[in-house]
């Protein structure tokens, strides 16, 4: 028996019982439409589909504090199934919560009202076009399955988020995701050529893949980052690249974090595109590279340059000529490559009462260093914070992404949720003050929604709300997400 975590046992049991009760009609109707293999309202499914991987949710699970229980889970197997679901939801005013891998970290998926969870993972087809260098993948395909398949055939998508093993193509588009190799291959928005989306009241919008098109505002873009509030992405056609012929791995120690930024800025502006660049601050250097002697006060930068052999050699020469740090060889990069998907700490620390989370933001070069300082200081000022650190992980000729981590132990009398909220408030306010963007790649979800207005302005938010209403006039698509 697990001790000490029974706070919400009765309340949660009640909520589950009520959800099953309230779902009877919707369940019966959907079974009629789709067949009983594709629909469930059994209590174990409702309990499991109650949350995504937002770190604060780990405390909600532990405290049995999950109030977001859906009524029904469906697993469509075709775009026609998705159309039927959306039509039904539209006609009956039932909320829909699209679900990919559930790896979202901002409560983008949170079935707040008795609604239908649409899990896309039975839509798994992949179709490669080697001549055009494209791949069409259903929304429910896991990233790793797609990448393994492409590698087997001699290609890569180049989109390798840390959540590669647990996130889906549809989820990537919905959250505007990006991968660890984005400095060379770009984010999902750079890879997406064609898309198929089902929107209320149950219509299929199909935008074919083209190398480029000038047919008015690009509707593809409307759905990139739409987080399930406009429609359900069912398929995408993505660019692929030939599997790299050569890979060069470099790493450096510098006296300061700032110095590493400056060298990287100079490298990127010359047109060099390492696939991976990661600059760790002092604390994160210790966290990841504790096993290297003599780097205690020297931030580490790692780089992977890949592609055709001669191009890689040329890029590596420029990097070595520009980055003035102390070279540390391949080992730190190999270590990172081996461990890059592993997230063990969250499960262990949450169970010990520690609150951890990450916040990814971005800014133009001129603001990157002030952004780093302000956000770290803001997070540290929150009572209970023990650790605040960052690394930079995605680079552009004009700026970079900073990826912050904080960890803390809420003071007595403060709930984990209150502490968590305070750190987010402090960090978001600091980002807005300095002039960065509040999200680089995780999206908005329900966690960041309060700051969306500050980012896009009154008029911007109004436009977004109008768009939402125009497409989803009955407000059935992931209601509440992004504050919409």
Partner 1 sequence: MAWIIEALKERGLSTAMRVALRYMLGRLRGVDDIIKCALCPNFCKFNCPTHIASGSETHSPAGRARVAFFIESGVLELNPENALPLYTCLGCLACKAYCPFNFSVPEITYRLRVRLRQANALPVQLAQIVDNLSRHKFLHGPRPAEDRIAGNLLYIRGCTVRQHLPSLAEITMEVFKRFGVTLATHADEVCCGFHAYLLGAEDIFRDLAKMSIELLKKYSCAITSCPTIAYTYRVLYPRFGFQLPIEVYHVTELLKRVMSEQQVKLREVRKKVVVHESWPLSRGIETSNVMLDLLKSIPGVEVALPIRHGRYVYDIGGYCSLLKFVNQWLVRRIAQERLRELSTVGNIIVTSSPDATIVFRELGANVYDIVEVMAEALGL
Among 57, 134, 156, 178, binds ligand FAD (CB under 6 A): 178
Choose one: 174-182, 235-243, 409-417, 462-470; the region binding ligand FAD (CB under 6 A).
174-182
Nearest distance from residue 167's CB to ligand FAD, in Å? 4
Q: How far is CA 279 from CA 158, 175, 318, in A?
A: 20, 24, 18
Concatenating the DSSP letter of every residue in 34-47 gives H-GGGEE--HHHHH
Verify binding: residue 76, ligand FAD, rule CB under 6 A. Answer: no
Verify binding: residue 54, ligand FAD, rule CB under 6 A. Answer: no
- 316-321 own/partner pairs: CB under 8 Å, 24+ apart: 316/248, 316/250, 318/267, 318/270, 318/272, 319/250, 319/267, 319/272, 319/274, 320/250
**Main-chain phi, psi angles of 471, to 5 degrees:** -85, -40
Verify binding: residue 70, ligand FAD, rule CB under 6 A. Answer: no
Q: Are 119 and 99 in contact (CB under 8 A)?
A: yes
For ligand FAD, the closer of residues 120 and 300 by Cβ is 120
Q: Are 402 and 392 in contact (CB under 8 A)?
A: yes
Annotate each residue in 351-390 with x if it binds partner 1 (CB under 8 A) or - if it does not, as one string: xxxx-------------------------x-----xxxx-
Give dist(CA 384, CA 422) in Å, integer: 10
Among 12, 233, 359, 484, binds ligand FAD (CB under 6 A): 233
Residue 106: count other Cβ atoms within 10 Å of its Cβ: 27
For ligand FAD, the closer of residues 177 and 250 by Cβ is 177
Alpha-helical runs (H) found in 93-203: 143-152, 169-175, 182-185, 188-191
Among 212, 293, 338, 344, binds partner 1 (CB under 8 A): 344
- Residue 334 interacting entry, from partner 1, ligand FAD, none, C-beta within 5 to 8 Å by type: none
Alpha-helical runs (H) found in 93-166: 143-152
Choose one: 91-99, 259-267, 285-293, 424-432; the region binding ligand FAD (CB under 6 A).
91-99
Q: What is the DSSP letter of 168?
A: B
Among 139, 199, 260, 276, binds ligand FAD (CB under 6 A): 139
- Residue 388 interacting entry, from ligand FAD, partner 1, none, C-beta within 5 to 8 Å by type: partner 1
Give dist(CA 180, CA 275) in Å, integer: 8
Give the residues lining the site for ligand FAD (CB under 6 A). 52-53, 97-105, 108-109, 120, 139, 161-163, 167-168, 170-172, 174-175, 177-179, 227-228, 232-233, 343, 441-442, 478, 481
């Amino acid at each position: 028996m697990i001790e000490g975590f029974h706070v919400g046992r009765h309340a949660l049991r009640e909520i589950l019982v009520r959800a099953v009760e309230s779902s009877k009609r919707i369940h019966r109707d959907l079974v009629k439409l789709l067949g009983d293999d594709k629909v469930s309202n059994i209590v174990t499914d409702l309990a499991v589909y109650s949350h995504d991987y937002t770190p604060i949710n780990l405390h909600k699970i532990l405290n049995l504090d999950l109030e977001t229980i859906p009524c029904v889970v469906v697993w469509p197997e075709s775009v026609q199934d998705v159309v039927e679901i959306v039509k039904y939801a539209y006609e009956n005013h039932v909320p829909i919560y699209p679900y990919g891998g559930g790896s979202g970290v901002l409560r983008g998926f949170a079935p707040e009202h008795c609604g239908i969870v649409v899990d896309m993972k039975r839509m798994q087809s992949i179709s490669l076009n080697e001549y055009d260098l494209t791949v069409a993948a259903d929304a429910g395909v896991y990233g790793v399955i797609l990448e393994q398949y492409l590698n087997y055939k001699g290609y890569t998508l180049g989109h390798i988020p840390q959540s590669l093993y647990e996130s889906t193509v549809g989820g990537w588009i919905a959250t505007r995701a990006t991968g660890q190799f984005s400095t060379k291959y770009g984010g999902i928005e750079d890879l997406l050529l064609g898309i198929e989306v089902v929107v209320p009241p149950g219509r299929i919008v199909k935008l074919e893949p083209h190398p480029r098109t000038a047919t008015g505002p690009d509707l593809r873009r409307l759905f990139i980052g739409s987080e399930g509030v406009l429609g359900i992405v069912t398929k995408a056609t993505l660019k692929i690249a030939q599997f790299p012929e050569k890979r060069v791995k470099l790493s450096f120690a510098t006296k300061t974090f700032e110095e590493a930024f400056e060298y990287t800025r100079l490298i990127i502006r010359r047109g060099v595109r390492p696939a991976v660049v990661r600059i760790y601050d002092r604390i994160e250097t210790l966290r990841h590279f504790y096993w290297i002697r003599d780097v205690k006060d020297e931030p580490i930068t790692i780089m992977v340059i890949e592609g055709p052999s001669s191009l890689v050699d040329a890029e590596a020469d420029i990097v070595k000529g520009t980055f003035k740090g102390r070279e540390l060889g391949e080992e730190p990069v190999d270590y990172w490559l081996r461990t890059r998907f592993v997230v063990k700490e969250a499960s262990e620390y949450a169970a010990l009462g520690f609150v951890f989370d990450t916040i990814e933001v971005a800014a133009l070069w001129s603001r990157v260093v002030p952004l780093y300082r302000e956000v770290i200081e803001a997070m540290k000022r929150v009572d209970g914070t023990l650790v605040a650190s960052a690394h930079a992980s995605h680079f552009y000729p004009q700026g970079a992404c900073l990826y912050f981590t904080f960890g803390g132990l809420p003071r007595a009398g403060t709930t984990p949720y209150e502490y968590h909220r305070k750190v987010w408030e402090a960090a978001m306010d600091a980002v807005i003050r300095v002039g960065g963007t509040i999200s680089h790649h995780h999206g908005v979800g329900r966690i960041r929604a309060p700051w969306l207005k500050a980012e896009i302005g009154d008029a911007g938010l109004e436009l977004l709300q109008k768009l939402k209403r125009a497409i989803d006039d009955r407000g059935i698509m992931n209601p509440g997400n992004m504050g919409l």
